[in-house]
Structure 1
Amino acid sequence: MGNPNFEHKKRLMPKSALLVRKYQKGIRASFIGFVIMLTLVFVLHTPSPAHNVVNNTNVENGINNVAGSADLYGSSTRNNARLSDDYLVPFTDKSQGIVQPLDDGIKVRAAMVTLARNRDLWELVKTIRHVEDRFNHRYHYDWVFLNDEPFSDEFKKVTGALISGKVKYGVIPKEHWSIPSFIDMKKYEEAKQDFADSGVPYGTSTTYRHMCRYQSGFFWQSELLDEYEYYWRVDTDITIFCDIQYDLFKFMKVNNKKYGFILSVSEYEQTIRSLWKTVKDFSKKFPKYINKNNLMGFVSDDNGETYNMCHFWSNFEIVSLDFYRSEAYRKYFEYLDNSGGFFYERWGDAPVHSIAASLLLDKSELHFFDGLGFHHPDFYSCPIEEPIRLQNKCTCDPEADSTWLDYYFCTRQFFKAAGYKMPPGIDKKK
């Protein structure tokens, strides 16, 4: 016989409550299972801090490559500032007749490229933050690091955690970072002693010569760059002062630009004593490679008879890799390299790149970038127009800008040679 009190309570309960009571053990078990399942999904799908780093060592080719996984952030973040009717374009962009593309979530094949050593890490992290905060946090482009020795685990771990795109690490082949067999070592040692006696910066450094030669003719041959159309050279100790309001790489493609720069200066003449003669010899031997609509007026004041020392400061350059891969540039570098000037003198990659861009490209394919704000010891670029500085949240001092100075710097020479109007106010820069 049942409990009379229980039977009385049972009669007073609503039918729904009776059903819940009857099946409460099953409901409780199902709920617990559901919570466990959600917990497992969360744990398994939360990305690790090294979301963009996967090790893949290629011993045969001497390359230590850490490639990223798929872009977990996506690339469709729109830049609201660029969509505003009040958005301002620098005078120099208007003068050069270009357009700044809107963000549409479609990237081009491009990457930042940095030549670095393990000991550069803690200086480099500041550079990475500048580039990521001012530009790449919206676009998540890849970053390629190159070194003449393997990168340390610490270097990979720290840099990989800071970069929003894929990250690759490569070891430079020995043949690209050594003295070639055709160099007369006695002549080379005599040249270094001569530079030492003259106090030429880096005049006795073999490593510096390796770097200049590598940047001039070999970095773009790395298989880590095979998939890309454009590269932005990012040195280990640069500063970006302004928000970059558009996709720099897409800008290059949309406007059919092959070489972009932000500062141009005069070269140390003693380091390139025979460079222009070698270039002239190349031009006579291979006239087909010289563009008929070139920018000779930027690098020469007398129609090519002499070199005026002007060059684009390659510590910031955004370039079409197809330009460096072209037959014209390959032949040009090969001719220069075989002359021995990288070692007997101290040819820098900046004049080598600049002369090539000025002579081998159509002058419409070169571009001066403005509105970005840039510093690399010891030169400084800050937008000359205050509205542009305010719009792009620049943190640079315009009084420190050296872009438009009428001595040593060559920005005015570029605008004159290309036939572009210069911005108002530069006459104050003396």
Structure 2
Amino acid sequence: MSPTRNFIVRLAALAAVLFLGFRYFVPPSSTYRCPGSASPLQAPVHNPPSPHGSFVTPPRSTPKANATFLIFAYNADLERTIRAVRSLEDRFNMHHRYPYVLLSPEPFTPEFKRRLRVLTPSPIEFGLIPQDEWIQPEGIDEARAQAVRERMVKEKIMYGGSVEWRNKARYMSGKVWAHEMLTKYKWAWRVEPGVGLTCDVLVDPLLWLEKSGKVVGFTLAMKEDEKTADSLWDYTKDFMTRYPQHLATDNSLAFISDRRGQEYNLCSYLSGILVTDMDFFRSPAYSAFYNYLNTKGGFYYERWSDASVLTLAASVLLKRKQVHLLEDIGFQYGAYSRCPKSADVWENGRCACGQSTRFNDGSESCEKIWKDFMSLADRFGPPPAPPARAEGQGILKGF
């Protein structure tokens, strides 16, 4: 064999070895873009097939809070619940695998459970609300309650004629936190059927709130209908007079009231998408507040909402910096929505909402009130406490 031919053979053999070694040690690559990122990254490891034969996204190897999604739904809410869970999975939970707890006063049908379970590889539980904790209490004067409902129907007040809506508001204000399916969790991300996230949630709000020492994270604050809570603020003021030991210093009283606590501005957090530390709602302070209001019958003699009750409690029982506005979460819930104002958050979150149309800037929104209150409190300290008042003074009798 000539020297030239020998060299060519050796070179070909070396090239074959290098080629095989490259194929063996280096996996094939493809371009993969993280949500909200313009930079191509190395392709992820192929996902193992799910029990359903499809591919699922593995959770990120990051810490998680002891938390669950909490959804209240009826069987009739199936399609809207599917929309909410599918949105949570696509925009956030596919990377975190937080479990779900769904509660209802009626047993969920096999079809409801089957269609929800196929949406997520995360654990999902379906719980029944005990009837003795759900139905209208025996001590309620039904004739008076019915007169209120009829009046609200005539005045076209939303859910004004519904006993079921009132049962839900009462239950979700207090008794829900003790449900056996929730006791193992500390945090709840409450989501109503029909909610749709419009942006990727790039920071875990559950973990961030916990690490930041927060207790409540709200996404929107709006004004309640004044005809539905005629005496709620007066009873809240009576509670503050009766149980001053439960009130927090440097609280958010000035956010929900004017004239040093004498008037209620009707601002309340939207409960359709709300993140809460359930230990607060299980605390002696909140239990005392809820039990006090529950004895007054306003859930049935008026139309107190769980959103208003939770907002009032957080405003007087928590320090203001324990409550946080989650303004980077974009969502749509019926007529209510928010879209991140930050151009970076909007772009990196692949937001489908238009920044020019935001409910949080509208006249019904209380967001400006919240931000002005927090800014002034940061600059000048908390406002002075309201003047002392006698117990029972100024109570309105409702309808």
TM-score (norm 2): 0.79
Number of the residue aligned with 1:245: 202
Give the counterpart letter for 2:371 in structure 1.
F
> Is the contact between residue 216 and residue 349 of structure 1 (CA under 8 Å) also seen in structure 2?
yes
Distance 1:120 1:49 in 2: 24
Aligned residue among 212, 220, 223 for 2:177: 220
Q: CA deviation at 1:123?
A: 2.0
1:147-296 correspondence to structure 2 within 5 Å: 147-296=104-253
- Runs of 4 or more, structure 1, over 3 Å off, are 72-75
Q: CA 1:50–1:214 in structure 2 vs 1: closer, same or farther (change >3 Å)?
A: farther
> Is the contact between residue 58 and residue 94 of structure 2 (CA under 8 Å) also seen in structure 1?
no
Q: CA 1:421–1:345 in structure 2 vs 1: closer, same or farther (change >3 Å)?
A: closer
Number of the residue aligned with 2:103: 146
SS state of the match for residue 394, structure 1?
coil
Distance 1:50 1:227 in 2: 31
Aligned residue among 356, 369, 374 for 1:413: 369
> Is the contact between residue 136 and residue 164 of structure 1 (CA under 8 Å) also seen in structure 2?
no
Number of the residue aligned with 1:23: none
Q: CA 1:46–1:378 in structure 2 vs 1: closer, same or farther (change >3 Å)?
A: closer
Q: CA deviation at 1:124?
A: 1.6
> Is the contact between residue 177 and residue 278 of structure 2 (CA under 8 Å) also seen in structure 1?
yes
Number of the residue aligned with 2:300: 343
Number of the residue aligned with 1:331: 288
Give the counterpart letter for 2:51 in structure 1.
S
Number of the residue aligned with 2:52: 49
1:98-137 correspondence to structure 2 within 5 Å: 105-137=62-94
Per-residue CA deviation, residues 286-315 of structure 1 (Å, 9 max, x unaligned), is 011111110011101211111011111111
SS state of the match for residue 129, structure 1?
helix
Q: CA deviation at 1:46?
A: 7.2
Per-residue CA deviation, residues 100-125 of structure 1 (Å, 9 max, x unaligned), is xxxx5221210001001112112221
Distance 1:154 1:328 in 2: 41
SS state of the match for residue 398, structure 1?
coil
Give the counterpart letter for 2:103 in structure 1.
L
* Higher relative helix content: 1
Q: CA deviation at 1:73?
A: 7.2
Q: CA 1:418–1:379 in structure 2 vs 1: closer, same or farther (change >3 Å)?
A: same
Q: CA deviation at 1:74?
A: 6.0
Q: CA deviation at 1:260?
A: 0.5
SS state of the match for residue 121, structure 1?
helix
Per-residue CA deviation, residues 348-402 of structure 1 (Å, 9 max, x unaligned), is 1111110101110010100111222111111120111222211110000112211
Q: CA deviation at 1:337?
A: 0.8
Q: CA deviation at 1:197?
A: 2.9
Distance 2:150 2:351 in 1: 45
Q: Give 1 or 2 for the bigger CA radius of gyration.
A: 1
Give the counterpart letter for 2:368 in structure 1.
R
Give the counterpart letter for 2:132 in structure 1.
E
SS state of the match for residue 237, structure 1?
coil
Distance 2:96 2:338 in 1: 23
Distance 1:128 1:341 in 2: 33
> Is the contact between residue 160 and residue 303 of structure 2 (CA under 8 Å) also seen in structure 1?
yes
> Is the contact between residue 125 and residue 159 of structure 1 (CA under 8 Å) also seen in structure 2?
yes
Distance 1:420 1:238 in 2: 33
> Is the contact between residue 134 and residue 244 of structure 1 (CA under 8 Å) also seen in structure 2?
yes
> Is the contact between residue 101 and residue 127 of structure 2 (CA under 8 Å) also seen in structure 1?
yes
Number of the residue aligned with 1:395: 352
- Mind listing any 5+ residue stretches in structure 2 that lack a counterpart? 1-47, 379-399
> Is the contact between residue 58 and residue 95 of structure 2 (CA under 8 Å) also seen in structure 1?
no
Distance 1:411 1:378 in 2: 16
SS state of the match for residue 403, structure 1?
helix
Distance 1:73 1:391 in 2: 20
Over aligned residue pairs, what C-alpha RMSD do you find? 2.0
- Mind listing any 5+ residue stretches in structure 1 that lack a counterpart? 1-44, 52-71, 78-103, 423-430
SS state of the match for residue 190, structure 1?
helix
Determine if the alignment matches structure 1 residue 301 to structure 2 residue 304.
no
> Is the contact between residue 374 and residue 381 of structure 1 (CA under 8 Å) also seen in structure 2?
yes
TM-score (norm 1): 0.74
Distance 1:115 1:344 in 2: 23
Per-residue CA deviation, residues 247-277 of structure 1 (Å, 9 max, x unaligned), is 2211111111100011110110000000001
Distance 2:174 2:322 in 1: 20
Aligned pair count?
A: 330
Distance 2:308 2:150 in 1: 23
Q: CA 1:364–1:286 in structure 2 vs 1: closer, same or farther (change >3 Å)?
A: same
Per-residue CA deviation, residues 199-226 of structure 1 (Å, 9 max, x unaligned), is 2221111011111111111211111011
Give the counterpart letter for 1:413 in structure 2.
I
Q: CA deviation at 1:319?
A: 0.3
Distance 2:199 2:58 in 1: 23
